[in-house]
Structure 1
Amino acid sequence: MKKRLLFAILGLLIVIAVLAGVKAMQIRAMVEQGKKAVIPPDTVTTFAARAESWETSLSAVGSLTAVQGVTVAAELAAKVVEIAFQPGAKVKAGDMLIRQDTSVEEAQLPGAEAQVALTESVLARDVEMLKDQIISQADYDAAVAARQQAIAQVKTLRATIAKKTIRAPFSGRLGVRQVNLGQTLKEGDPIVTLQTLDPIYVNFALPQQELFRLRTGLPVRVTSDALPGPAINGRITTVNPLVDAETRNVQLQATVANPEEKLRPGMFVNTAVGLPVRKKVTAIPATSVLYAPFGDSVFVVEDDKKGKGGKVLRQQFVRLGERRGDFIAVTDGLKEGETIVSTGVFKLRNGQPVVVDNKLAPEFRLAPKPKNY
């Protein structure tokens, strides 16, 4: 019995050893096959880093302000009897906005005008009577004063009627209506906002260290997250002569054309003041940069000196500068003329063989204009 058990155990060990040997041979064969395997090259698009001369600019966050903006308000207390505008509409200077109740003044006006006519007749007779010394100089002066008082009363009534007919003080676009028909307005009650939107002001500040480089007439580019598309151009029109004592910043104001009225007062925008001095940079497409917490890098395409020819990638860490349009400046780590991968860098690795095919390479521009803008 013991011999049978011993033979059984021995046979089992032999079977296990044979299986282990076969498995080891299979693994060794797979390892050898993996060493001999060649990874197929990936197809990439490339771009040659080039030297460019970029305009020097100073950036700041600005706020938009209307060239003319006001909240139209009632000057006198009265009831609204007519509303002659549509909210959000464009109006011209002098267009009527609302009319208040002027029935009392209109009823008093004919009597006041009649009083003017009467005093003028009396004054005309008194002139002749004064020549003949029928009346005294005091009576004549009283007649002159009575005429002036009557004329003043007519002017007062007409001025009151005019003030109760509220008109647009300048051309612009109206806002939300804040009155209703039949509402009794008090003096100073708001009626509607009125803003001139074209052109529009951009107010921003820059450090006092830049004051010597700033002057009126310098170009300004305005962009906003709320306004996709190309930058809107304008020029500096005012440099505040006073420097803020708390922030040591100088206030500037630029005027920007706004024919489509896309820019609105109160919006925050990004401003860039173009300076006459230009700087030389090494520009590459922004899509060629592999961004990472430990450092930004690009993949340089080089000849494969260790293999059988072809092209391989070398990951090169770079230091980046300003970005403009589709391009970004490289301040360190890359030389002019070096060929780099321009798209799809997130799927590449160092030492990977590649094949260059630029048939479908995108066109990179400093001032891109997508078709949907």
Structure 2
Amino acid sequence: MTKLRRWGVTLLSSTLLITPFAAYKAFEIRSAMAMVESFPEHSETVTAATSKTVEHQPRLTVMGEVVMPEYLHLTNELSGKVSQIDVEPGQQVQQGQRLFQLDISEELARQRSATAKLKHTKLKLNRIQALKKTQAASQSQQDELIAELEIAEAELDLLQSTIDKKTIKAPFAGTLGLFQLELGSYLNANSQITTLVGSQPWTWIEFELPQFYPKLTQGDEILVSAQYPNAPILTAKVVASDTVINTNTRTQRYRSRIENNRGLTHNQAVKVVAPNGTSLSLQQVPLEAIQRDGYGSFVYLLDHPQGEPDATRAQRQPVTLYRQFEQYALVSQGLNGGEQVAADGAFKLYPGVLVNVALPSPQPEASSQLSQHQE
């Protein structure tokens, strides 16, 4: 009995000692919970952008070349020694201007002889015609002199033709290429002397497209740029296409006309961006808005949940990414246009999180970059 009493006293004493501590601890826990509940809900700050519908023209980038409508290799038709050089390399010349002269001293001497012979034949013919009127000369004598006159005129024409062939003139206005030619140099027939490029402002751009791409039609516009940094983008229109497919490359050749060549050079390689099929209606969003995980691409829509009109929360929206560029992305499925999506800082979000929206993120114009990418 005494033993039970001792245990009862011990239990009562322990209870009296523990109860105040337990009550104090419970008070601390309730105070901490109340303090936590008084804190604001966790939120993330992002910029927002509105998805917009754009018309996107798929394009194909290929290499093309500049073809000047007036371009030729200047050659000499006859052989001879260079007696005169009237131009300098790179000089602009006019149509019909003499460029080079081969030695024609022999032809000039023969021309003087033929001219004298022609003059003498005309005098003889005049005398015979006067004598014939008095029956002092026969018809055969007159016919013979007429034939000699025609032969003399033909000899003069032949000599003049030879002189013209040894006088190299510009067939059209343009700019000469480089050449290495000295007085006294001997040129064989059909030697290539230099090049001549016409001075007209427009030019052709020729390029080839694989046969399995949609064909271009006359009037279709293409974009052309040279192969150096910050080269201007020029617009050309298709004017013709080849009637056959190249059996080696299975490509079809096109010719386009560009009205202002902007210093393009014959045979220069250029980048050609050609339309590839019909245009597509897509949704444009900033590139930062596109997020990825194991399930694919998605964006975070910024919505006002029902019952929380003043709150903005993130909602995961799967999308099908059509193509991305340096500053924006094009979406083919998942957006309809006009949705507010998270842009800068979207990587911090998760479904349902409270969002603070900063100033909207401006979007670049799609047309400024579409032309520079291959589909």
- 1:105-134 per-position Cα deviation (integer Å, ceiling 9, x unaligned): 233332222222111111222223344443
- 291-300 vs 126-135, greater mean Cα deviation: 291-300
Q: CA deviation at 1:188?
A: 1.3
State the alpha-carbon separation in 2 of the partners of residues 188 and 95 from structure 1: 20
In structure 2, what residue type is equivalent to 1:284?
Answer: V
Q: For structure 1, which runs of at least 5 residues remain unmatched after alignment? A: 1-35
In structure 1, what residue type is equivalent to 2:94?
Answer: K
Match of 2:208 among 186, 202, 205: 205
State the alpha-carbon separation in 2 of the partners of residues 91 and 223 from structure 1: 28
1:239 equivalent in structure 2: 241
Q: 1:338 to 1:264 in 2, by over 3 A?
A: farther
1:164 equivalent in structure 2: 166
- 8 Å CA contact 1:230–1:367 kept in 2: the answer is no
Q: How does 1:296-311 map to 2 (within 5 A)?
A: 297=297, 299-300=299-300, 302=302
1:100 equivalent in structure 2: 102
State the alpha-carbon separation in 2 of the partners of residues 259 and 205 from structure 1: 20
Kindly indicate whether residue 337 of structure 2 is the aligned counterpart of residue 336 of structure 1: yes
In structure 2, what residue type is equivalent to 1:107?
Answer: A
Kindly indicate whether residue 191 of structure 2 is the aligned counterpart of residue 185 of structure 1: no
Q: 1:170 to 1:313 in 2, by over 3 A?
A: farther
Q: 1:340 to 1:170 in 2, by over 3 A?
A: farther
- 8 Å CA contact 2:177–2:195 kept in 1: the answer is yes
- 8 Å CA contact 2:222–2:272 kept in 1: the answer is no
State the alpha-carbon separation in 2 of the partners of residues 113 and 66 from structure 1: 43
1:65 equivalent in structure 2: 67
- TM-score, structure 2 normalization: 0.69
Q: CA deviation at 1:91?
A: 2.7
In structure 2, what residue type is equivalent to 1:236?
Answer: V
CA-based RMSD of the aligned residues comes to: 4.1
Q: CA deviation at 1:51?
A: 1.0
Q: 1:61 to 1:150 in 2, by over 3 A?
A: same
- 1:253-281 per-position Cα deviation (integer Å, ceiling 9, x unaligned): 11112342235424142131487x54322
2:321 equivalent in structure 1: 319
State the alpha-carbon separation in 2 of the partners of residues 322 and 258 from structure 1: 32
State the alpha-carbon separation in 2 of the partners of residues 200 and 291 from structure 1: 46
In structure 2, what residue type is equivalent to 1:254?
Answer: S
Match of 2:146 among 144, 161, 166: 144
Q: CA deviation at 1:169?
A: 1.3
State the alpha-carbon separation in 1 of the partners of residues 235 and 153 from structure 2: 55
- TM-score, structure 1 normalization: 0.70
Greater Rg over alpha carbons, structure = 2
Q: How does 1:1-373 map to 2 (within 5 A)?
A: 41=44, 44=47, 46-55=48-57, 60-196=62-198, 198-208=201-211, 214-226=216-228, 228-245=230-247, 249-262=251-264, 264-273=266-275, 278-285=279-286, 287-288=287-288, 297=297, 299-300=299-300, 302=302, 318-321=320-323, 328-340=329-341, 348-351=347-350, 356-358=357-359, 364-368=364-368
State the alpha-carbon separation in 1 of the partners of residues 355 and 264 from structure 2: 47
- 8 Å CA contact 2:61–2:272 kept in 1: the answer is yes
